A = this chain, B = another copy of it.
Amino acid sequence: MPNETHGPEVLPVALATAATSRRGFLRTASLTALSAGALAACGKTPVAEAASEAATPPAGPPPVPLSPRAAADAMDAMHEKGIKSFPAKTEGKGNQILAPRIEKGVKIFDLTAKVVQWELEPGRKVEAWTFNGVVPAPQIRVREGDRVRINLRNDLPESTAIHFHGLEIPNDQDGVPYITQPPVKPGDSYVYEFIVPNAGSHMYHSHHNSAKQVGLGLLGAFIVEPKDKSSEPKVDVDYVLILNDGAHGFTLNGKSFPATEPIVAKLGQKVRIRYMNEGMMIHPMHLHGMHQTVIAKDGWPQPQPWKCDTLNIAPGERWDVVVNCNNPGTWAFHCHILPHAESDHGMFGMVTALIVQK
């Protein structure tokens, strides 16, 4: 048997050795990110080009076809570069909590809708329609019963509006142009104000020309912590994971692999993941190595928790799960519609990792 390798004893890959050390992991990644980023898994480098790096072709015409082994090496080199560059550095980070200004007990959030260039993966910038210049929009995180005011300024070339998806607020704050309010014209502003009625994992996004505007990035998380936290799971990491599949391709929190962000926890910790689908397709999210315990749907507790390793998230849905991180290592975590996660150039799109550190 040529070249037999026995799995358990062999871990030659940088990522594998770094798996249980976050510092090692990140250091490795940052060293390789710049060189590998441009090529990594972006689906734009033809096999022949990569092959020319991996296996030196003979000079002069006519070109000799690659041997199967050399062709495999060339393909694998692309896969390796993508993974070794993870998490690849890119400009801009969305989904960060936005601290409110507080005036007379009202939590005030200022949002400006505007067009920016957004770096999806290293070296690949796209036009994004954003709140405050980031995709996803800044995370709004408040408490049940809070009074909140959202000041929207529209610097887009189109009218827009904000719908608070999942919040059971008064009709005139619901954000649907011509049904509950006029559209907010380019250059204009609009104010939403309400008392936050129901806890859970919710969203906010454009509800005007929405197939385009949400697809381009006008979306964010609106998390409402319950007044009574006694029924909340006790977790060490609380992670919002927003899926999208519009004009920017397949993204997790506004980035495509290898520029996605790993979730990092220590062995024995618990991670809560709040999935939100802002796209047009289902995305069954598969976690390797550990199961997911489903605790809530659209912000409402499930009657009983239930377990799975692949959770199907449909457009507009939110699902909350808890992962008990009892299995150390770097675990692939991706959409299981495989063409949303891997091409013959390597992993891309809806791929990240859950790193459980010893």
Is A316 a contact partner of B310 (Cβ separation < 8 A)?
yes
Task: Report whether A178 and B329 are in contact in the complex, using a CB–CB cutoff of 8 Å.
Answer: no
- If A168-B289, A312-B317 touch, whether A188 touches B298 (CB-CB below 8 Å) is no
Identify which of residues 179-232 in chain A touch chain B, using a CB-to-CB cut-off of 8 Å: 179-193, 198, 207-212, 214-215
Which residues of chain A in 315-330 are interfacial with respect to chain B, using CB atoms and an 8 Å cutoff?
Answer: 315-317, 327-330
CA A245 – CA B217 in complex, angstroms?
Answer: 27
Task: Say which residue of B84, B174, B186, B317 sits within 8 Å of A284 (CB atoms).
Answer: B317
Stretch of A1-9, A99-107, A136-144, A233-241 with 4 or more beta carbons under 8 angstroms from chain B = A1-9
Chain B proximity of A206: nearest CB distance (Å): 10
Residues of B within 8 A of A187 (CB): 2-3, 69
Q: Is A120 an interface residue (CB 8 A)?
A: no
Partner of A280, one of B19, B210, B327, B339: B339
Within 8 A of B (CB), among A143-186: 153, 157-159, 163, 165-166, 168-174, 176-186
Name the one of B191, B207, B298 contacting A308, with C-beta atoms under 8 angstroms: B298
Q: Given that A171-B327, A310-B314 are known contacts, is A76 also in contact with B183, CB under 8 Å in the complex?
A: yes
Q: Mark A10-32 against chain B: 1 for CB-CB distance below 8 A, else 0.
A: 11110110010000000000000
Let me know if A71 is at the binding interface, CB within 8 A. Answer: yes
Some 18 contacts from A to B, beta carbons below 8 A apart, are A4-B190, A8-B173, A11-B172, A11-B181, A15-B178, A71-B158, A76-B159, A76-B183, A168-B291, A171-B327, A171-B328, A171-B331, A284-B317, A300-B308, A302-B306, A304-B304, A310-B315, A317-B336
Check if A252 is an interface residue, CB within 8 A of chain B: no
In whole angstroms, how far apart are the Cα atoms of A329 and B8 in the complex? 51
- Smallest Cβ-Cβ distance to A82: which chain B residue: B178
A159, A178, A208, A284, most chain B CB atoms within 10 A: A178
Nearest chain B CB to A214 CB, angstrom units: 6
**B288, A209: Cβ atoms closer than 8 Å:** no
Contact B308 A179 (CB under 8 A): no
| This chain: copies in complex | 3
Is B303 a contact partner of A189 (Cβ separation < 8 A)? Answer: no
Asked if A327 meets B168 with Cβ closer than 8 Å, knowing A3-B187, A310-B317, the reply is yes
- 7 nearest A-B residue pairs (beta carbon): A171-B329, A316-B336, A300-B307, A303-B304, A312-B314, A211-B338, A310-B316
Most buried by B among A157, A170, A182: A182
Which of chain B's residues have a CB closer than 8 A to the CB of A303?
A: 303-306
Could you say which of B5, B165, B208, B309 contacts A298, with CB atoms under 8 Å apart?
B309
Interface status of A297 (Cβ within 8 A of chain B): yes
Q: Is the CB of B288 within 8 A of A298?
A: no
Complexed CA–CA distance, A314 and B72 (Å): 31
Q: Are B214 and A338 in contact (CB under 8 A)?
A: yes
